[in-house]
Amino acid sequence: MSCINEEQLQHYLDNEYDKEEKEAIGQHIATCPSCKGALEEQRRRILDVKQSLDLLVTEQPVIPEFRPPVKTYRQRKIIAKYMLPMAIAASLLLIVFLRPFFESDIPPVNGQSTQFMMSVELDANKPVTEYPLNITIVAPDGSISQTTIN
Amino acid sequence: MKKALKIAIILGVLLPAIASAQTLLETYKSEKVELVPDPTFGQQVDWDTVFESFNDTLYGRWRGNDKSLTVLPDGSVVVSHTYRDFYTRFDANGRFVEEFGVKRPDGGHYRSLRHVQGVLKNNVLFSGLDNMGNMLCFDIRGNLIKTLHMDYMARQIIALPNDKLALVGWVLWSDRVREFVAIIDYETNEEKIIWDHFDPRRFSAGTHRFNYMYNFKNGGSISFTTMPFTKALGMSQPPQIASVGNKLVITIPSTGEIRKYDLDGNFVSSQKISWSKGYISAEEQREIQEKAIARYHAMSNPVFASFASEEENIAARDYFISEMEKDLQRIKDPIPMPYFANLIKDSDNNLLFFEFPKEEGANAFNVWIYKNGGEFVARSSFTTEGYKLEIKPSKMVFHNGYLYALVTKENARGIPLRLVRFKLEPQG
């Protein structure tokens, strides 16, 4: 089987192939580093969008109940143990993930694309000249929120 | 004798439904429909307490009206609130019953519940997708029945009569945006995409007219579009879906196409809306743009983003004003509008296609029925006294010939939001 293109990849991720096609593509991906890389890249994009939207709900009107941490000593020990490898891994991931954006004019998934996909339900009792102005705010951490100016 | 009794029972069940169907359609044919509040519904509800969340704010701006309603088969109503951990339940007479959350399998409650989108199998409520694509399915007591998972974002989700779900979703590819309609099997979580549309995914600040973005020095940005239907990415208005009898109807507002599918997602036929498309005239565009500019001029101390300095917020405001003024000067050609603003299904399986009104309150809708493959049979409008109507599917739901709506009462003391059951009466 030849390498899969982006459309096939997306269909594969969206679970749109029948069992046989899915198996054939899965086998190819398992043996082809290039396609495997492309698959991971697309998965990451999807995750990026979700993470970006996940942060929409960081501001809660109701303050959550405070639960004191347990086993703090053990947690600290674990954090210290894994801190350095995690930092290195995170840096490497950042370099790998950001590289394509410097090489193309395609904007990053977070924020710049997602914000323009947000849609607002229209009120069919108002003329277009009376629609409120919706503003999308993307925070430095990638979280998105919307606000309205009437 | 037995046969006669059977016929009598069947007629007894069917006749009221048939009569009601005729009544709604006949009511629309009067061209003007008055929504008359049912005084027996929602009596003695302390609205200030029940809808206390109407005062909610988020990031310093009012968000308390972000609510929607769902009517259950027994006539009880569930109201959803944005960013709240509970739903509000009313009984079939509109009396407040309780606020309820959804229980997690580990014993706690889900937080920041997504709005209820509909009801499956008569008593399974299903929510919109959370940010990780999870849909909660639960009963009226808040007991979780199951969780479905989707790998994309959803805009609209409806229940189909065969206990499946249909949804309008979108996903970003590396260079394209895909918007689609899918059918989801509630039992297996399997999905089938039955319609899709691609648009290029490119946006650069300053290149898309009426689309503005400002990037802050230390990360983060703000963006907005002043002009309706000039969105830089994706469709100017996404598809809207409804089920009519044993058909799923996908409507594409920008092309006026009405596509019919069977409940398994097989394409049946397509037709096009016959009325002509509207436009936002150059004059209207100037009015919209000037209003937006005035809104920004009025911000003497703008705080778009709390994470940026005061100077940067001011710089952002000034940048926006300058860019908006440039676009104001460039306005010349009319902008095409979608063929309709909203689609609402009534309880007799008629689809109401709402037009874009020219004045506030001057709503008008075209009634579509699934006959001879689908046809428009009447044009009408709603009017009411004492309440401000928001004509949106999230705020208006038909049930058994009545219209249930979340509306604001004019000249109300305290919180003006009300849950009202309207009777539809022909006017004139």
Q: Does B236 touch chain A (CB under 8 A)?
A: no
B390–A117 CB contact, under 8 Å: no
Which residue of chain A is at minimal alpha-carbon distance from B353? A124
CA distance A88 to chain B (A): 23
Beta strands at B134-138 and B144-149: parallel, antiparallel or unpaired: antiparallel
Beta strands at B351-354 and B342-345: parallel, antiparallel or unpaired: antiparallel
Separation between Cα atoms, residue B200 and residue A107, nearest integer Å: 12
Grade residue A50 by pLDDT with cuts at 50, 70 and 90: low
Chain center to CA of A39: 14
Q: What is the ipTM of this complex?
A: 0.88
Tokens found for residue A85: 């490898």
CA distance A40 to chain B (A): 13
A127 contacts in chain B (CB < 8 Å): 356-360, 362
B287–A129 CB contact, under 8 Å: yes
With 60 as the cut, is the pLDDT of residue A111 above it? no
A145–B390 CB contact, under 8 Å: no
Q: The whole model's pTM is what?
A: 0.80
A128–B288 CB contact, under 8 Å: yes
* HEC-encoded secondary structure of chain A: CCCCCHHHHHHHHCCCCCHHHHHHHHHHHHHCHHHHHHHHHHHHHHHHHHHHHHHHHHCCCCCCCCCCCCCHHHHHHHHHHHHHHHHHHHHHHHHHHHHHHHHCCCCCHHHHHHHHHCCCCCCCCCCHHHCCEEEEEECCCCCEEEEEEC
- The pLDDT, as a whole number, for residue B227 is 95
A115 contacts in chain B (CB < 8 Å): 221, 223
B127, B113 in Cβ contact below 8 A?
yes
Separation between Cα atoms, residue B37 and residue B387, nearest integer Å: 9
- The pLDDT, as a whole number, for residue A119 is 77
- Render each residue's pLDDT in chain B as its tens digit; 428 residues: 556 555 555 544 444 444 444 579 999 998 899 999 999 999 999 999 999 999 988 766 787 888 999 999 999 999 999 889 999 999 999 999 999 999 999 889 999 999 999 999 999 999 999 878 899 999 999 999 999 999 888 999 999 999 999 999 998 888 888 999 999 999 999 999 999 999 888 766 567 899 998 989 988 888 899 999 998 888 889 999 999 999 999 999 999 999 999 999 999 999 999 999 999 999 999 999 999 999 999 988 888 788 889 999 999 999 999 999 999 999 999 999 999 999 999 999 999 999 999 999 999 999 999 988 899 999 999 999 999 999 999 999 999 999 999 999 999 999 999 999 999 999 86
- The pLDDT, as a whole number, for residue A80 is 65
- The pLDDT, as a whole number, for residue B238 is 93
Over residues A82-99, the mean pLDDT reads 69
B360 contacts in chain A (CB < 8 Å): 125-127, 130
Separation between Cα atoms, residue A9 and residue A32, nearest integer Å: 13
Rg of chain B taking only CA atoms, in angstroms? 23
Separation between Cα atoms, residue A61 and residue B55, nearest integer Å: 11
Separation between Cα atoms, residue B56 and residue A27, nearest integer Å: 52
Over residues A61-84, the mean pLDDT reads 54
- The pLDDT, as a whole number, for residue A96 is 55
- The pLDDT, as a whole number, for residue A46 is 74
CA distance A73 to chain B (A): 26
- The pLDDT, as a whole number, for residue A66 is 45
- The pLDDT, as a whole number, for residue B4 is 56
What is the dihedral sign for C-alpha A69, A73, A74, A79?
positive
Which residue of chain A is at minimal alpha-carbon distance from B133? A50
The mean pLDDT of chain A is 70
With 80 as the cut, is the pLDDT of residue A144 above it? no
A117–B216 CB contact, under 8 Å: no
Kindly report the number of other CB atoms within 10 A of residue B144's CB atom.
15
- The pLDDT, as a whole number, for residue B22 is 53
Comparing CB atoms, the residue among B237, B307, B365 nearest residue A140 is B307
Which residue of chain A is at minimal alpha-carbon distance from B219? A140
Grade residue A71 by pLDDT with cuts at 50, 70 and 90: very low
- The pLDDT, as a whole number, for residue B68 is 97
Comparing CB atoms, the residue among A112, A127, A140 nearest residue B357 is A127
Task: Rank A13-22, A114-123, B324-333 by mean pLDDT and report only the highest.
Answer: B324-333
Q: Give how far Cα B368 sits from Cα of B119, B346, B377, Å.
A: 23, 10, 6
DSSP state of B129: P
A137–B355 CB contact, under 8 Å: no
B295–A15 CB contact, under 8 Å: no
